[in-house]
Amino acid sequence: MLFSQLRANHYLHIAEQAVKQSARTNHDVNFNWPMRFSSFLVRALAPEISARQLGTILSKIKADILIKSADLLDDQSEAIEYTVTVNESSTQAEARQILLFDNDKRLHDALNVLDTSVNINLVSTLESLPEQMKHQRPDALLIDSESVSQSQTSLSEIIEKVREQNSSIPIFTYQLAQLDKTLQTDNVCVDVLEHVPIKLDDIKQGFTELLSKVNHYLTVEKTIQRMLSRNETLDYTLSVDKRDNKFVATFDNLQYKQIIQSKDIQESALFQQSLPSATLDDVIGLERAKMRLAEVIGWLKHPEKLSNFGIKIPTGFLYAGPPGTGKTLLAKAVAGECKLPFFSASAAELSSPHSSGTTENIKSVFAVARKYAPSILFVDEIDAIAGKRTANNDGSSRDRNLTVNALLTEMDGFNTQQEPVFVMAATNHPHLLDDALTRPGRFDEIIYCDLPNKKARQVFFERFANKHSLSWPIETVEQLTNISQGMSAAQIDQVLRESIYQAVGNNEPLSTAHVKDTIVRIVYGSPSDNITLSTEEKRRTAYHEAAHLLTHKLLFPTHLVDFVTIEPRNQALGFVATRSPDEYESLSKQKVHDQLQVLLAGKVAEAICACDQNQVSTGASNDIEKATRLAMHAIFEGGLEASVGPINVGMLTKYEESELLSKAQNAVKTWLADAEKNVTALLHDNLEKLELVALTLIEKESLLKDEIDTLFI
């Protein structure tokens, strides 16, 4: 029980004593240990550090070195000497704020003359110490031992006062003296990391050494605390070389690896635990989300920066957007950038058919994440378990309410400054979540993950081409970028994978044709094997789709058409896939009239094809429904019909009968009749082009953008 209360500095002192003891031992085999080797010894034992093990770890290190050098020894070797080095790769922490507890200003005044980036402040009384600690928020506290001995306050009382404000701040003592004065060098209290003598005749050198010690202890203590809380071990390689009859032992490639305890592994059916290697650079697109998350990463890497302002880090963020837009990858990238343990669970894994089972699962997952804090917990499809609470008393409603309450309770009590846990969740339906979850303090912000824009899609294909050494010209990449509009990141990834499957399956080199075929299949569906069109039906469908295509090209010349087909796919005999410009365009009255003509063009073309109005099929029923809905939106809600006025017809006529409703309905009929009349004239004026497109469709059945553009040159 006694050892469990030891702090990092206590372990360091025990290790230092072991190193000193080893140096005093006189054997035929001598080891020259590097400065501050004690920190390596402590880390080598983590996470199971004990005072007893620290007393024996050095013997194990010596044995390892001797075993490694066995092949280098010869029978003539008598006294053997090893020089030991440790190649550290981690960045050392730096103190920026230092508070001096001193009853005179000699050191403070001398230091302020020096050119240093450290901000140094002075406090001289115990009464003012708490206020200065709160105001200055120092990285380290330096206490003048002479000031303590001259006052009526003990060092223990000062430290107790300090710990009330900051339980983890490193504390050093120092002593000022002339060159010829004997200096105290021993620690005077177990809570003091080190006692440092400073000679007034050489303030700069003395303070530089002191600052180096402060930074070293800050780094080591932070590392050891992290290793203990996250259950990390230190991996390293040991090599021994012989140089000029001397041996050099080098500890290199130091890496920290987290280990999961056995009982936590038993509970892993509820979640997956990992230390992701993904970074924000791996996330293509989502630039706004990445910029915001870059700030979050800074907070998670250095929570003390926020704590210096007295604020805690945000509890969590919610990712919202369509399926396959990279929400999970974003969460992993945040964990990867921070090098934090990543716990992920889906709502399906957390859900339980038993009463209160979901609540218990949530508590278990949060408990494990807290155990390895600082960490990140990610819950996918959270809307499935965190829907809006109701006042119903049935069993399912009670369980849902309990589940939401459990989430709220865990998130409220989840965030501490010393061991923060950042909660991230993803949903396709943020509006379904209970309002209490999305208020500040729970999910502090909703980050929307949109479908990849043109630039992002281009990066997808460029990276794919580079990865597989494909020499795709810019025009090819741009063409693939254009025809993949509206696809999610997951769909594009699927396209690229299945293109490789197709090429390998056919024993062919990978080409853009494979990618195009896969895009068409994934986006537009595969041709139906169950529906076969007669010659007449195929001709009718060709004229129908050709009319849609031609009218769209004539009335919306800036809009692109990526694909047209008369092969039955996805419950449709044929369709035209169009794409609006990247710039947003609002609906005007003229654009609505033009769109109505595009929608009704297929029906008109069937009459032209058959030369008989009575031969028009019901294949245009979906087009008519869309046209009616569009006209109603413009007139009933958009206020684009002058005879009706800028009025929401549905809202105004909801509670009573009105002539306004009849007037609006007649306006819809008029708009549709005018559109049919205008598109009939338009198609007759361009009959030759209509027939060319229809005949091409009959021949090829499906056309991609480049083939379509060729018809309209």
The helix (H) or strand (E) run that includes residue 100 is: strand 97-101
- Based on the fold, state whether residues 291 and 391 are members of the same structural domain: yes
* Least confidently predicted of 31-40, 144-153, 220-229: 220-229
Number of domains in the chain: 4
Query: Strand 316-320 relative to strand 443-448: parallel, antiparallel, unpaired?
Result: parallel
CATH number of the domain that residue 595 is part of: 1.20.58.760
Q: Which residues pair with 174 in a beta bridge?
A: 144, 196
pLDDT higher at 598 or 93? 598
- Based on the fold, state whether residues 359 and 443 are members of the same structural domain: yes
Residue whose tokens read 């996805």? 570
- Asked if pLDDT for residue 266 goes beyond 70, the answer is no
**What type of residue sits at position 542?**
A
pLDDT tens per residue, range 583-608:
667 889 999 999 999 999 999 998 88
- Which residue of the set 194, 545, 567, 641 is catalytic? 545
Query: Strand 702-704 relative to strand 560-565: parallel, antiparallel, unpaired?
Result: antiparallel
Report how many helices (DSSP H) and strands (DSSP E) the chain contains, helices first: 26, 18
pLDDT classification of 695: cutoffs 50, 70, 90: very high
Across the range 538-551, mean pLDDT stands at: 91
pLDDT tens per residue, range 180-209:
454 454 445 667 888 888 877 777 788 888
Share above pLDDT 70 across residues of the chain, in percent, rounded to a whole number:
88
- Tell me if 156 is assigned to some domain: no
CATH number of the domain that residue 427 is part of: 3.40.50.300
DSSP string covering 358-389, please? Answer: HHHHHHHHHHHHHHT-SEEEEEETGGGTSBPP
Query: Strand 232-243 relative to strand 246-258: parallel, antiparallel, unpaired?
Result: antiparallel
Last residue of a domain, one of 417, 448, 479: 448
- Tell me if 120 is assigned to some domain: no
Q: Indicate the SS3 state at residue 585.
A: coil
pLDDT classification of 308: cutoffs 50, 70, 90: low
> 295: which 2 tokens?
């700030």
Tell the burial category of 53 from Cβ atoms under 10 Å away from its Cβ (0-12, 13-18, 19+). middle
Cα distances from 509 to residues 3, 501, 514, 516, 712, in angstroms, run: 65, 11, 9, 14, 32
pLDDT of 192 reads: 84
Q: What is the 3-state secondary structure (H, E, C) of 482-539?
A: HHCCCCCHHHHHHHHHHHHHHHHHCCCCCCHHHHHHHHHHHHHCCCCCCCCCCHHHHH
> 342: which 2 tokens?
């990543």
- Tell me if 171 is assigned to some domain: no
Across the range 449-472, mean pLDDT stands at: 88
The helix (H) or strand (E) run that includes residue 250 is: strand 246-258
- Based on the fold, state whether residues 439 and 318 are members of the same structural domain: yes
Selection from 583, 577, 510 nearest residue 548 by Cα? 577
- Tell me if 221 is assigned to some domain: no
The residues near 504 (Cβ < 8 Å, ≥ 6 apart) are: none
**Cα(520)–Cα(483) distance, rounded to whole angstroms?**
9
CATH number of the domain that residue 73 is part of: 1.10.8
> CB neighbours (10 Å) of residue 265?
10
> 544: which 2 tokens?
């129908």
DSSP at 433: B
- Based on the fold, state whether residues 506 and 557 are members of the same structural domain: no
pLDDT higher at 582 or 186? 582
Q: Indicate the SS3 state at residue 348.
A: helix
**Cα(563)–Cα(548) distance, rounded to whole angstroms?**
12
Q: Is 545 a catalytic residue?
A: yes
Last residue of a domain, one of 433, 448, 463: 448
pLDDT higher at 456 or 311? 456
Q: What is the CA radius of gyration of the chain?
A: 37
- Asked if pLDDT for residue 226 goes beyond 50, the answer is yes
pLDDT tens per residue, range 331-343:
888 888 887 778 8
- Tell me if 418 is assigned to some domain: yes
**What type of residue sits at position 624?**
I
- Do the Cβ atoms of 635 and 664 come closer than 8 Å? yes
- Asked if pLDDT for residue 490 goes beyond 80, the answer is yes
pLDDT of 76 reads: 62
The pTM of this model reads 0.63
- Based on the fold, state whether residues 388 and 505 are members of the same structural domain: no
pLDDT classification of 614: cutoffs 50, 70, 90: confident
- Based on the fold, state whether residues 540 and 583 are members of the same structural domain: yes
pLDDT of 185 reads: 47
Q: Indicate the SS3 state at residue 557.
A: coil
- Based on the fold, state whether residues 463 and 444 are members of the same structural domain: no
Residue whose tokens read 């598109």? 679
- Tell me if 46 is assigned to some domain: yes
- Based on the fold, state whether residues 467 and 436 are members of the same structural domain: no
Selection from 699, 693, 685, 686 nearest residue 545 by Cα? 693
* Least confidently predicted of 262-271, 371-380, 431-440, 478-487: 262-271
- Asked if pLDDT for residue 285 goes beyond 90, the answer is no
- Tell me if 503 is assigned to some domain: yes
Last residue of a domain, one of 384, 414, 448: 448
**Cα(55)–Cα(38) distance, rounded to whole angstroms?**
11
Domain that holds residue 45: 3-91+230-258
Selection from 235, 275, 262 nearest residue 46 by Cα? 235
- Based on the fold, state whether residues 464 and 384 are members of the same structural domain: no
**What type of residue sits at position 488?**
S
- Based on the fold, state whether residues 598 and 666 are members of the same structural domain: yes
**Cα(557)–Cα(551) distance, rounded to whole angstroms?**
10
- Based on the fold, state whether residues 635 and 651 are members of the same structural domain: yes
- Tell me if 205 is assigned to some domain: no
pLDDT of 187 reads: 46
- Do the Cβ atoms of 42 and 51 come closer than 8 Å? no
- Based on the fold, state whether residues 441 and 492 are members of the same structural domain: no
Tell the burial category of 121 from Cβ atoms under 10 Å away from its Cβ (0-12, 13-18, 19+). middle
Phi, psi of 559 (to 5 degrees): -85, 150
